[in-house]
Chains A and B, each alone.
Chain A
């Protein structure tokens, strides 16, 4: 299971980096989201397989799982939701202004 998770993290991350380096801005936004999912999986794997039962206050005796990585992922997911909404809004404005999705055409500043 560890090997499988490691491969899943690696593949998600690699696909995310590949998409992010594309010229099309929509694909690079998709790459950003894939990378953030890969990182959520990575954070999850830091606390996985330590215990077997869900951890909550007043639980039955047993071997509880580490709840902290799950709390971290929850925060990271909420933040990435906001990021996705914002990046889509910025891309909407930019596609109206520049009439293109090619990031090589966005050179107004370096001129």
Chain B
């Protein structure tokens, strides 16, 4: 029997490292080593947790304070939560590596690394918690730390972007609290496992549909789903590069995780309606995001709009509702987070070597002509986003189309098939403008920029998971199968209490 404390270690380690970083805020080098060591340790622990949970076949549960399930706060590591934790820890570790080699002035800000680690804590905690109110607390931690990180950005408009996002994230938090109240009034509990037992017997009575709608609104704002996406391009463009890579790659996946949790665990009776909505909004997001990404004038902004489109694919996968399409959504979410963070880091690297520090096309156009290594990485990243073999993007697109054919959703499939061509158009256009065109503004290219180690590692993973896709596909299939059957989760959390 494993000690259940391992469930909260991926949450605790970044938090402790963040506090240690605050203590030695005078020594920036020391802070970055603490952050690197902390994230490496918590990545190792989450991989260990993945192996344990997958091998045991049952969710591991930690009851905080030793109180039994409906009374205390449970942390439940089922395969779905651990899948998302592993995904985010891999990207967060790469983000810390990038930040340690970055030339940004804001990295030297004494609270940068602690805030980055608190962002990791909030994200991991939101995935692992088994309590709806605790989810709210972790989402708030995540929102506040990411807003502060954007507000201190080198980009002059960081404060403005942070201000705009802050109102949106607070609205999302209010919706979440309204949902918490409505859930508590109708069910008398906030524990997700206990809710899964109670909600099916209540049907549509009382405030339950309202609670589901408010929770939907929260996750739609968090994942920047189509009508609520307007804050996202501003926020992701103005953030410092290591932070915007995290926001665009893994923080939006929090909403995706929330939708999967809602449809498979908490609100199973309302799941049909939620899924119908997700398909429509996902397809709208794919079309709109693709078109908007083609019309932008900034590499980072283009990638932020591309996130809107790619999250749309994941939502459509959840919305079709078959085991195969949920598998496809998980594969897509994992692969997108690797490719998108690598691309944003490469855009940041190019911006750091340009005469003016900006990722605007007029500045970075032609700046990649003397950088063959960056060019190769950028090209593979583009292929990964567009879904061309031998990258992992191909595997994810193929599994989505496979799931669509299997579910018989041919109209939706035709729409997303046409609009996935947009990805190829805008990524290739960006590649040609940066690496083939003549520079548009004068000025020498700087001899050194941000370290390329982190994007190189991520691109290696993009290629590796494209060529050896078997393990990830098997893992996603197992995760989807276990998420669809929530009895194991309920039994593990509630310990047989009815």
Q: Does chain A bind chain B?
A: yes
> In B125-181, which residues have CB < 8 Å from any A CB?
133, 137, 140, 144, 147-148, 151, 156-157, 159-164, 166-167, 170, 173-174, 177-178, 180-181
Given A32-B170, A86-B148, A106-B163, the answer on whether A42 and B234 have CB atoms closer than 8 Å is: no
Contacts A39-B177, A43-B181, A109-B237 hold; do A90 and B159 have CB atoms under 8 A apart? yes
Q: Which of B151, B181, B184, B190 contacts A90 (CB 8 A)?
A: B151
Measured CB to CB, the closest approach of chain A to B259, in angstroms, equals 23
Determine whether the beta carbon of B160 is less than 8 Å from that of A108.
yes
**A35–B178 CA distance with the chains assembled, in angstroms:** 11
| Given A75-B137, A79-B140, A109-B157, also A35-B163 (CB < 8 A) | no
Question: B140 and A28: CB pair below 8 A?
Answer: no
Point out the residues of chain A lying under 8 angstroms from B160, CB to CB: 94, 106, 108-109
By the criterion CB–CB under 8 Å, are A109 and B234 in contact? Answer: yes
Question: CA–CA, A75 to B180, complex, Å?
Answer: 13
Chain A residues positioned under 8 Å from B181 (CB to CB) = 39, 42-43, 46, 69
Q: Which residues of A contact B234 (CB under 8 A)?
A: 109-110
Q: Is the CB of B180 within 8 A of A83?
A: no
Q: How distant is A90 from chain B, measured CB to nearest CB, in Å?
A: 5
B346 at the interface (CB under 8 A from A): no
With a cutoff of 8 Å between Cβ atoms, the chain A residues found around residue B190 in the complex are 68
A44 to chain B, nearest CB (A): 9
Instruction: Give 1 or 0 for each of A70-101: 1 = CB within 8 Å of chain B CB.
Output: 00100110010011001100110110010000
Counting CB contacts under 8 A, is B90 at the interface? no
Counting chain B CB atoms within 10 Å of each CB, the highest count among A36, A43, A47 belongs to A43
A24 to chain B, nearest CB (A): 13
Contact of B163 among A36, A43, A91 (CB under 8 A): A91
Q: Are A35 and B185 in contact (CB under 8 A)?
A: no
**Interface SS majority for chain B:** helix
B170: which A residues are within 8 A, CB to CB?
32, 36, 83
B177–A76 contact, CB under 8 A?
Answer: yes
The yes or no answer to B49 lying at the interface (CB within 8 A) is no
**A109: which B residues are within 8 A, CB to CB?**
157, 160-161, 164, 234, 237-238
What's the minimum C-beta distance from B162 to chain A, rounded to whole angstroms? 6
Contacting A at CB under 8 A, from B318-340, are none
Q: Which residues of A contact B159 (CB under 8 A)?
A: 90, 93-94, 97
Q: From A36, A39, A86, give the contact of B144 (CB < 8 A).
A: A86
Q: Which residues of B contact A36 (CB under 8 A)?
A: 170, 174
Cβ of A68: which chain B residues have Cβ within 8 Å of it? 184, 190
Question: Do A72 and B174 touch (CB < 8 A)?
Answer: no
A72–B185 CA distance with the chains assembled, in angstroms: 13
Given A43-B180, A79-B140, A109-B157, A90 and B174 touching (CB < 8 A)? Answer: no
Q: Which B residue's beta carbon lies closest to that of A28?
A: B167
Which partner residue on chain A sits nearest B189 by CB separation? A68
CB–CB B156/A32 < 8 A: no
Interface centre among B161, B181, B238 (most CB of A within 10 A): B181
Cα A110 to Cα B156 in complex, Å, equals 13
Q: A residues within 8 A CB of B173?
A: 79
Q: Which A residue sits closest to B147, measured CB to CB? A: A86
Nearest chain-A residue to B163 (Cβ)? A90
Complex Cα distance, B181 from A39, in Å, reads 9
Bound state CA distance, A46 and B181, in angstroms? 6
User: Which residues of A sit under 8 angstroms from B137, Cβ to Cβ?
Assistant: 75, 79
Residues of A close to B157: CB separation below 8 A = 108-109
Contact B156 A108 (CB under 8 A): yes
Knowing A28-B167, A86-B144 are in contact, say whether A72-B180 is a contact too (CB < 8 A).
Answer: yes
Q: In the complex, what residues of B have CB within 8 A of residue A79's CB?
A: 137, 140, 173
Binding site for A on B (CB under 8 A): 133, 137, 140, 144, 147-148, 151, 156-157, 159-164, 166-167, 170, 173-174, 177-178, 180-181, 184-185, 190, 234, 237-238
What are 20 of the A-B contact pairs (CB < 8 Å)? A28-B167, A35-B174, A36-B170, A46-B185, A68-B190, A69-B181, A76-B177, A79-B140, A86-B144, A87-B163, A90-B163, A90-B166, A91-B163, A93-B159, A94-B160, A106-B163, A108-B156, A108-B157, A109-B157, A110-B234
Beyond contacts A43-B177, A82-B144, A91-B163: 11 other A-B pairs, Cβ-Cβ < 8 A, are A25-B163, A39-B174, A47-B184, A68-B184, A72-B180, A72-B184, A76-B177, A86-B147, A90-B151, A106-B163, A109-B238
Interface residues of A (CB under 8 A from B): 20, 25, 28, 32, 35-36, 39, 42-43, 46-47, 68-69, 72, 75-76, 79, 82-83, 86-87, 90-91, 93-94, 97, 106, 108-110
Q: Which 8 A-B pairs have the closest CB atoms?
A: A108-B157, A109-B234, A46-B181, A46-B185, A109-B157, A39-B177, A43-B181, A106-B160
